[in-house]
Amino acid sequence: MSSPEGPRPGLLDQYSQGFMVSQVLFAACELGVFDVLAEAPGPGSDAVAARLGTSSRDEMLLDVCVSQALQMEVRGGKALYDNTELSSTYLVRSHPRSQHNMLLYLARTTYLCWAHLAQAVREGKNQYLTAFGVPSDQLFTAIYRSEGERLMFMRALQDVWSVQGRSVLSAFDLSPFPLICDLGGCSGALAKECVALYPGCRVTVFDIPAVVQTAKRHFLSPEEGRIGFQEGDFFEDPLPEADLYILARVLHDWTDEKCSQLLAKIHQACKPGGGALVIESLLDADGRGPLTTQLYSLNMLVQTEGKERTPAQYRALLAAAGFGDAQCRRTPAGTYGAILARK
């Protein structure tokens, strides 16, 4: 219903300048503002600048951060800055729940693809060629276009499971599945949460060779004896034996045709009574929300070949591959939900 005063122009400013808000967070992360404040809380902007090696004009950035993730107190006429609970937990690099790497990835890669959203909509395809000059006919060759980029992507994805991993893995009781294969399991971040939550299980992380080698070099720690890695291409190579196949944020990368191909392969490898667990950000039944998932779906447009889907769309893909009895559970607070289907 329209109001007599007409629409609020401030709202348009808020939407159109929203990218500035993200950039402030990205810059503060990149510069290490939250880390410096965690080491020695309460400095003035001149002391922060000295520790970061930035210009004395850093006060502008710190003051905008105060509206997002810092607190400030004026003492003796001087502004003194500190982290908030939000930044201490999620933005300080050393915190176990830190999202620092995800913010860096969003700043350095995702943001540059989003700069070409209109072109992506026009062409119906991702923007690696426009943004980075790399052809994207082999999706993961474009995503992993350098060793540094692969490491940044793997670290970014890991951050999400450090916060939401337990809740997606406890959406269903997975204890009846002692041998689990995490297909496209990347650094093993979800596998680590899985073995912590289910003491009786072992997990094989299956991913392409370069990712497995990077995971072994940078992510694996000795206490994870119940996690193994296997190199391979899930479209081409035989899949490891397992009671349950996890596909976390894998199907959203691909077209319906490629998803069907992969799910049919999993169904073939699966034992009777075995299962497939799909973990994705789920659209509402009518596909018109939640906004975060709609934005993720646009992100799939600019960065992949896929899209986010509704539970019914995932059920249809699973059913076409032969899986029955698919149940869907959304996690209470998180962005991700889980769909468990049995053979």
Interface ranges with ligand SAM (CB under 6 A): 140, 157, 184-186, 189-190, 207-208, 211, 233-235, 248-250, 253
**What amino acid is encoded at 53 in this protein?**
G
Whole-angstrom distance, CA of residue 48 vs CA of residue 59: 9
- Nearest residue (CB) to ligand SAM, 248 versus 283: 248
The DSSP bridge partners found for residue 70 are: 83
- Nearest residue (CB) to ligand SAM, 35 versus 308: 308
Sequence-distant (6+) residues with CB within 8 A of 329 are 171, 172, 337, 338, 339, 340
Strand order in the sheet with 244-248: 227-231, 202-207, 179-183, 244-248, 275-280, 337-342, 324-330
Each as own residue / partner, the long-range contacts of residues 44-48 (CB below 8 Å, 24 or more positions apart, any chain) are 44/78, 44/79, 44/80, 44/81, 45/79, 45/81, 48/81
Whole-Å CA distances, 147 to 41, 140, 214, 253: 35, 12, 9, 20
Minimum distance, C-beta of residue 40 to ligand SAM, in the bound complex (Å): 34
Active-site choice (100, 116, 252, 267): 252
Cβ contact 212:295 at 8 Å: no
Instruction: Determine whether 95 is an active site residue.
Output: no
Residue nearest to ligand SAM (CB): 184
- Nearest residue (CB) to ligand SAM, 248 versus 340: 248
Minimum distance, C-beta of residue 207 to ligand SAM, in the bound complex (Å): 4
Q: Comparing C-alpha atoms, which of 92, 85, 114, 96 is closest to residue 23?
A: 114
Strand-strand pairing, 275-280 and 337-342 = antiparallel
Cβ contact 45:81 at 8 Å: yes
Minimum distance, C-beta of residue 287 to ligand SAM, in the bound complex (Å): 21
Minimum distance, C-beta of residue 182 to ligand SAM, in the bound complex (Å): 7
What is 82-136 written as a DSSP string?
EE-HHHHHHTSTTSTT--HHHHHHIIIIIHHHHTTHHHHHHHTS--HHHHHS---
- Nearest residue (CB) to ligand SAM, 249 versus 343: 249
Sequence-distant (6+) residues with CB within 8 A of 222 are none
Minimum distance, C-beta of residue 338 to ligand SAM, in the bound complex (Å): 12
Quick check: bond before 199 cis, omega within 30? Answer: no
Nearest 10 degrees: Cα torsion 236, 240, 242, 248: -60
Catalytically annotated residues? 252
